[in-house]
Amino acid sequence: KPCMHGWGRRYLMVNPYGNVLPCQTASAIPSLHFDNVRQQTLRWIWTTSEAFRRFRGTDWMPEPCQSCPRREIDFGGCRCQAFLLTGDETNTDPVCGLSPHHQQLVAFTECVQSDRTDGGEAATLESWTQGISFRANPTHT
């Protein structure tokens, strides 16, 4: 899916502290430094800052994104989602069916759905990278 029409292509946001981000969730990625409008101009941040340039375009993409005919349409999916679901923002977005991480997401979804319909315990699936645990509350509607 095209997240924000591609990282740093059309949108930006300034948080209450003055940090400029390509989306509201990008601050969840700890490896990126987001420049502040109090120290840099908005133009400089948009065109020059490492955080905005890091995932712009298609050069950064791993396979299968790099050879995918949709790479100029979805721009590799959501970097924040990739980070939050795999622990690495450079991984392919697990929501994409071509991602090597997609099956783990499908398995987790099936586990959650099974627990919700069977009235079982909260579903837990260990992440395939950094020991991230996905947890769902089966009583949540």
- Which pTM value belongs to this model? 0.74
pLDDT at position 32, please?
A: 96
Same domain, 67 and 32: yes
Note whether 9 and 81 are within 8 A (CB). Answer: no
Q: Is residue 56 part of a domain?
A: yes
Note whether 86 and 94 are within 8 A (CB). Answer: yes
Note whether 121 and 112 are within 8 A (CB). Answer: no
Tens of each residue's pLDDT in the chain, 141 residues: 678 888 999 999 999 999 999 999 999 999 999 999 999 999 999 999 999 999 999 999 999 999 999 999 999 999 999 999 999 999 999 999 999 999 888 888 887 777 655 555 554 444 433 444 444 444 443
pLDDT at position 115, please?
A: 60
Same domain, 17 and 52: yes
pLDDT at position 140, please?
A: 40
Closest CA to 87 of 55, 130, 51, 32: 130
pLDDT at position 117, please?
A: 56
Map residue 136 onto helix, strand or coil.
Answer: strand
- Last residue within a domain, chosen from 35, 62, 77: 77
pLDDT at position 136, please?
A: 45
Pairing of strands 123-126, 133-136: antiparallel
- Residue range of the domain that includes 19: 13-77
pLDDT at position 1, please?
A: 64
93 φ/ψ angles, rounded to the nearest 5 degrees: -65, 120
The DSSP code for 36 is B
Q: Is residue 5 part of a domain?
A: no
The DSSP code for 99 is S
